Amino acid sequence: MKFIHTADWHLGKLVHGVYMTGDQRHFLHQFIDVVEEEKPDAVVIAGDLYDRSVPPTDAVELLNEILFKINVELNTPVVAIGGNHDSAERLSFGSSWYKQSKFYLSGKLVNDFRPIHINGVNFYLVPYAEPGMVRHLLDDDRVHSHDDAMKAIVNRIEEYLNPNEPNVLVGHAFVLGGATSDSERTLSVGGSGCVHSSSFDPFSYTALGHLHSPDAIKHDKIRYSGSLLKYSFSEAKQEKSISIIEMKENGEFDLRTRSLKPKKDLREIEGHLDELMDPAFYEKQNLDDYLKITLFDEGALLDPINKLRQVYPNVLHLERRIAVTDMKKKSSFLSMKEEKKSELDLFKQFYEQMTTSEFTEDKQQVMTDVIEKVLREEALK
Amino acid sequence: MKFIHTADWHLGKLVHGVYMTGDQRHFLHQFIDVVEEEKPDAVVIAGDLYDRSVPPTDAVELLNEILFKINVELNTPVVAIGGNHDSAERLSFGSSWYKQSKFYLSGKLVNDFRPIHINGVNFYLVPYAEPGMVRHLLDDDRVHSHDDAMKAIVNRIEEYLNPNEPNVLVGHAFVLGGATSDSERTLSVGGSGCVHSSSFDPFSYTALGHLHSPDAIKHDKIRYSGSLLKYSFSEAKQEKSISIIEMKENGEFDLRTRSLKPKKDLREIEGHLDELMDPAFYEKQNLDDYLKITLFDEGALLDPINKLRQVYPNVLHLERRIAVTDMKKKSSFLSMKEEKKSELDLFKQFYEQMTTSEFTEDKQQVMTDVIEKVLREEALK
């Protein structure tokens, strides 16, 4: 029995103010080609189909189009769960209809842990849920952390589990030891949000979503497929792929990966401005890629971003690196500043991540006024 | 062939700061009982399933639950379109799957005007769309108004129309001569938004949504079903109902209506405070109803709303009526004030309609500051 494991599509994602929907569409059409070639018995999507609980309408249309092609036109069963970026309730709409055509969508955790059987393999669907929600759902007061929650859920699953058949858990969690990047949203404010990998011992394979690298965890039977695309520069060096699992009757499996080519890669380049603007340097590159550029030049530069954009239209982020001799002093200063980011900086960062527009001086002024007002009021309390 | 015509469910609606979802659930369960009794060949919902493009999650869950019961459990075909309150794209998600079980959902107008055939009747689905969208979709530069748009759409429909069979148009529009209430959102800012009833001449029956009264238009073959519940006090005296149409092969039909009982009615009472607080007056009433109360008392009253709420817990709106002798002077003063409502008043009204919380003095002060700042900046321009 063969299935494809993917996750973290994050449809509707904004990266440094740029909507990724066009890139996601391009990539997913290649994904459909792979499904057509591989003819798997199922496609498993382990959460974060959307990037936010209310995704942009073109992301909604894209998901509809892609899933319809895979499920109905290519007649492939689909197993999908909600992640921490999805709205459990909104994603769940219609799922009772979908299962008639073997599209098994579990947006919201419910108190029914029976598996989905597909060609001899049992899939247990565990969409992302807050520990408090799991405590309530299972009526189990001992559930306080994500780890407690997963243990309690797996306990329930074990009532239905036939150890003589291949069993696959599909989950969206931060498994202890996994390597994070900048584009996953922290699961827990205070407390670790971690789940111990031992929870998954009863399963032949655990198909995870949440961490964006396919190498996020080293484990024989637990795997993150990784995200669809690179969604932050901390992922620039990751090799994104789709996992293809061929499950045997005894629960052992073979794993292959396939890599697809994004329309525009997301990568980092660095050097002096003159070097980067030299045709000898840039001629062999895909100039449309999304870039983070680090400049080594010292001293003032006149409008470097616009100069660079004449050659590299999709520069998303520009940094300057301070010469090695000064670095020690300055970098400790910088990291202190980073820790003590002002409210205004935090808001600016948030604003630029969430919108496509610039955080202009006008806007900065409005926000400064609001912050000052609140701080004044706090001080008076 | 028998079908039920309903529209304007507005799931997730807030009326004077109160979420109607509980009342809507109660009412829709009665609706399901009617479907079970009547065993129609189809249920037609002519738009505004939700009250807004991003409805609250419990409204999403309610719609899912009700439609699943009607369509799958009671095995009844459902024909539904998007209205001006719905998000065309969000509502459309999944519709390709739904039609496998005869749930025909057209959230977004597409360039395909072929009918849905159900037991000998042809249904033409025309979801709400802006004229600009229709102009683009049909590639017809002559479309500028809603009237142009409907004419152009019906022209396309006529290519598929068999005049020897019963043909039903399902639409969401403001048909000329229809009577409005306070809870429909105006379709057009500038320009009338009206559609001439003559556009619907080719159809045996036109099942409309948008206006909230079942008596909104007097026409043999064009009908508004009216909204599910009363959604504003201007609808307090309307008799809400469900329309049941028995269509004959020759396109003639019989129409019946059925009225359901809401959990809490929405109505107006008036009198002097003492009268309204007299058990002899209120004993025979359903005290849980949503009320608009008009007091005739002159002079100061000490906290009348809280006094009234001890008897009538769901007073949503309180007014005082000025004595007849002063009325002329004061009322012209009041209506002038109404026209020249301050920015603050307009915002207060908006805030109270959109949230469940009070517009406290603190909030008022914040808003006053913002308005003053903007006005100052405007003056400097």
pLDDT digits (tens, 9 = 90+) for B113-137: 999 999 999 999 999 999 999 999 9
How crowded is residue A31: how many other Cβ atoms within 10 Å of its Cβ?
21
pLDDT at A273 over 80: yes
Q: Please name the residue of chain A whose CA is at the shortest distance from the CA of residue B373.
A: A366
Q: Are the Cβ atoms of A101 and B97 closer than 8 angstroms?
A: yes
Q: Which helix (H) or strand (E) holds A6?
A: strand A2-6
> Is the Cβ–Cβ distance between B85 and B59 less than 8 Å?
no
Given this model, what pLDDT does residue B329 score?
Answer: 47
Q: Measure the CA–CA gap between B10 and B24, rounded to whole angstroms.
A: 9
pLDDT at A192 over 70: no
Q: Are the Cβ atoms of A96 and B61 closer than 8 angstroms?
A: no
Q: Measure the CA–CA gap between B225 and B216, rounded to whole angstroms.
A: 9
Given this model, what pLDDT does residue B333 score?
Answer: 42
pLDDT at B335 over 50: no
Q: Measure the CA–CA gap between A86 and B167, rounded to whole angstroms.
A: 41
Q: Are the Cβ atoms of B61 and A89 closer than 8 angstroms?
A: yes
pLDDT at A338 over 70: no
Q: What percent of chain B has pLDDT over 90?
A: 72
B contact test, residue of A75, A93, A103 with most B CBs within 10 A? A93
> Is the Cβ–Cβ distance between A223 and A243 less than 8 Å?
yes
pLDDT digits (tens, 9 = 90+) for B198-246: 999 999 999 999 999 998 898 999 999 999 999 999 999 988 999 999 9
pLDDT at B173 over 90: yes
Given this model, what pLDDT does residue B26 score?
Answer: 95
How crowded is residue A32: how many other Cβ atoms within 10 Å of its Cβ?
17
Give Cβ neighbours of residue A67 (< 8 Å, ≥ 6 apart). A78, A80, A103
Residue of A54, A89, A97 with shortest CB distance to B97: A97
pLDDT at A350 over 90: no
pLDDT digits (tens, 9 = 90+) for B352-377: 766 667 788 888 888 888 888 888 87
Q: Strand, coil or helix: what is A222?
A: strand
pLDDT at B337 over 50: no
> Is the Cβ–Cβ distance between A196 and A176 less than 8 Å?
yes
Q: Measure the CA–CA gap between B7 and B173, rounded to whole angstroms.
A: 12
Given this model, what pLDDT does residue B226 score?
Answer: 94
pLDDT at A14 over 50: yes
Instruction: Please name the amino acid found at residue A90.
Output: R
Give Cβ neighbours of residue A146 (< 8 Å, ≥ 6 apart). A131, A173, A174, A187, A188, A192, A193, A194, A195
> Is the Cβ–Cβ distance between A172 and A153 less than 8 Å?
no
pLDDT digits (tens, 9 = 90+) for A288-327: 999 999 999 888 888 899 999 999 999 999 998 866 555 4
Q: Is the alpha carbon torsion for A115, A118, A122, A123 positive or negative?
A: negative
Across the range B260-281, mean pLDDT stands at 93
Any chain B CB within 8 A of the CB of A97? Answer: yes
Spans of all domains in chain A: 2-258, 264-321, 339-381
Q: In what order do the strands lie in the sheet with B78-81?
A: B103-106, B78-81, B42-46, B2-6, B242-247, B253-258
Lookup: tokens for B195: 């559609």
Residues of B with Cβ-Cβ distance to A87 under 8 angstroms: 57
The CATH number of B264-321 is which of 1.10.3470, 2.60.40, 1.20.58, 3.30.160? 3.30.160
Among A3, A5, A7, A353, which residue's Cα sits nearest to residue A173?
A7
Among A59, A56, A52, which residue's Cα sits nearest to residue A85?
A52
Lookup: tokens for A80: 């999908």
Which residue would you say has higher pLDDT here, A172 or A353?
A172
Q: Measure the CA–CA gap between A66 and B228, rounded to whole angstroms.
A: 35
Q: Measure the CA–CA gap between A153 and A134, rounded to whole angstroms.
A: 8
> Is the Cβ–Cβ distance between B16 and B353 less than 8 Å?
yes
Task: Kindly state the greatest CA–CA separation across chain B.
Answer: 70
DSSP state letters, A122-177: EEEEE----HHHHHHHHT-TT--SHHHHHHHHHHHHHTT--TTS-EEEEEE-EETT
Which residue would you say has higher pLDDT here, A302 or B108?
B108
B304 to A54, B271, B327, B334, B353: CA distances (angstroms):
42, 13, 22, 21, 22
Strand partners of residue A175: A195
Any chain B CB within 8 A of the CB of A365? Answer: no
Eight-class DSSP state of A58: H
Task: Kindly state the greatest CA–CA separation across chain A.
Answer: 69
Which H, E and C letters describe chain B, residue by residue?
A: CEEEEECCCCECCEECCEECHHHHHHHHHHHHHHHHHHCCCEEEEECCCECCCCCCHHHHHHHHHHHHHHHHHCCCCEEEECCCCCCHHHHHCCHHHHHHHCEEEECCCCCCCCCEEECCEEEEEECCCCHHHHHHHHCCCCCCCHHHHHHHHHHHHHCCCCCCCCEEEEEECEECCCCCCCCCCCCCCCCCCEECHHHHCCCCEEEEECCCCCCCCCCCCEEECCCCCCCCHHHCCCCCCEEEEEECCCCCEEEEEECCCCCCCEEEEEECHHHHCCHHHHCCCCCCCEEEEEECCCCCCCCHHHHHHHHCCCEEEEEECCCHHHHHHHHHHHHHHHHCCCHHHHHHHHHHHHCCCCCCHHHHHHHHHHHHHHHHHHHHC
Q: What is the ipTM of this complex?
A: 0.76
Compute the nearest-CA separation of A38 from chain B (Å).
Answer: 24
Compute the nearest-CA separation of B317 from chain A (Å).
Answer: 33
Given this model, what pLDDT does residue B284 score?
Answer: 87
Q: Which residue pairs, CB below 8 angstroms and at least 24 apart, start in A272-280?
A: A272/A296, A272/A297, A273/A297, A273/A301, A273/A304, A273/A307, A273/A308, A276/A308, A276/A311, A276/A312, A277/A307, A277/A308, A277/A311
Among A258, A260, A261, A293, which residue's Cα sits nearest to residue A277?
A293
pLDDT band (50, 70, 90) for residue B338 = very low
Given this model, what pLDDT does residue A188 score?
Answer: 61
Across the range B333-347, mean pLDDT stands at 59
pLDDT at A229 over 50: yes
Any chain B CB within 8 A of the CB of A73? Answer: no
Eight-class DSSP state of A226: -
pLDDT band (50, 70, 90) for residue A191 = low
> Is the Cβ–Cβ distance between A62 and A28 less than 8 Å?
yes
Distance of CA A179 to the CA centre of its chain: 13
Q: Please name the residue of chain A whose CA is at the shortest distance from the CA of residue B367.
A: A370
Given this model, what pLDDT does residue A62 score?
Answer: 96
Q: What percent of chain A has pLDDT over 70?
A: 91
Residues of A with Cβ-Cβ distance to B94 under 8 angstroms: 64, 93-94, 97-98
Given this model, what pLDDT does residue A333 score?
Answer: 42
The number of CA neighbours under 13 Å toward the Cβ of A358 is 4
Any chain B CB within 8 A of the CB of A90? Answer: yes
Reading phi first (left if > 0) and then psi (alpha if -120 to 50, else beta), residue B136 is in alpha
Across the range B256-274, mean pLDDT stands at 93
Q: What percent of chain B has pLDDT over 70?
A: 91
Q: Measure the CA–CA gap between B171 and B218, rounded to whole angstroms.
A: 17
Q: Measure the CA–CA gap between B316 and B302, rounded to whole angstroms.
A: 18
Q: What are phi and psi of B256, to 5 degrees?
A: -125, 160
Strands A42-46 and B222-224: unpaired
Q: Measure the CA–CA gap between B335 and A68, rounded to whole angstroms.
A: 55
Residues of A with Cβ-Cβ distance to B54 under 8 angstroms: 54
Reading phi first (left if > 0) and then psi (alpha if -120 to 50, else beta), residue B10 is in left
Residues of A with Cβ-Cβ distance to B107 under 8 angstroms: none
Any chain A CB within 8 A of the CB of B270? Answer: no
Across the range A139-148, mean pLDDT stands at 94
Compute the nearest-CA separation of A276 from chain B (Å).
Answer: 43
> Is the Cβ–Cβ distance between B12 and B59 less than 8 Å?
yes
Lookup: tokens for B369: 């500051």
Reading phi first (left if > 0) and then psi (alpha if -120 to 50, else beta), residue B358 is in beta
Across chain B, mean pLDDT equals 89
Question: Residue written as tokens 């379109």?
Answer: B81
CATH superfamily of A2-258: Metallo-dependent phosphatases (3.60.21.10)
Q: Are the Cβ atoms of B100 and A98 closer than 8 angstroms?
A: no
pLDDT digits (tens, 9 = 90+) for B61-91: 999 999 999 999 999 999 999 999 999 999 9
Residue of A57, A71, A72 with shortest CB distance to B87: A57
Give Cβ neighbours of residue B39 (< 8 Å, ≥ 6 apart). B2, B76
Q: Please name the residue of chain B whose CA is at the shortest distance from the CA of residue A64.
A: B93
Q: Which helix (H) or strand (E) holds A27?
A: helix A21-38
Residue of A58, A64, A100 with shortest CB distance to B101: A100
Reading phi first (left if > 0) and then psi (alpha if -120 to 50, else beta), residue A237 is in alpha
pLDDT at A269 over 80: yes
Question: Could you tell me how many CB contacts below 8 A there are between chain A and chain B?
Answer: 63
A contact test, residue of B21, B72, B86, B97 with most A CBs within 10 A? B97
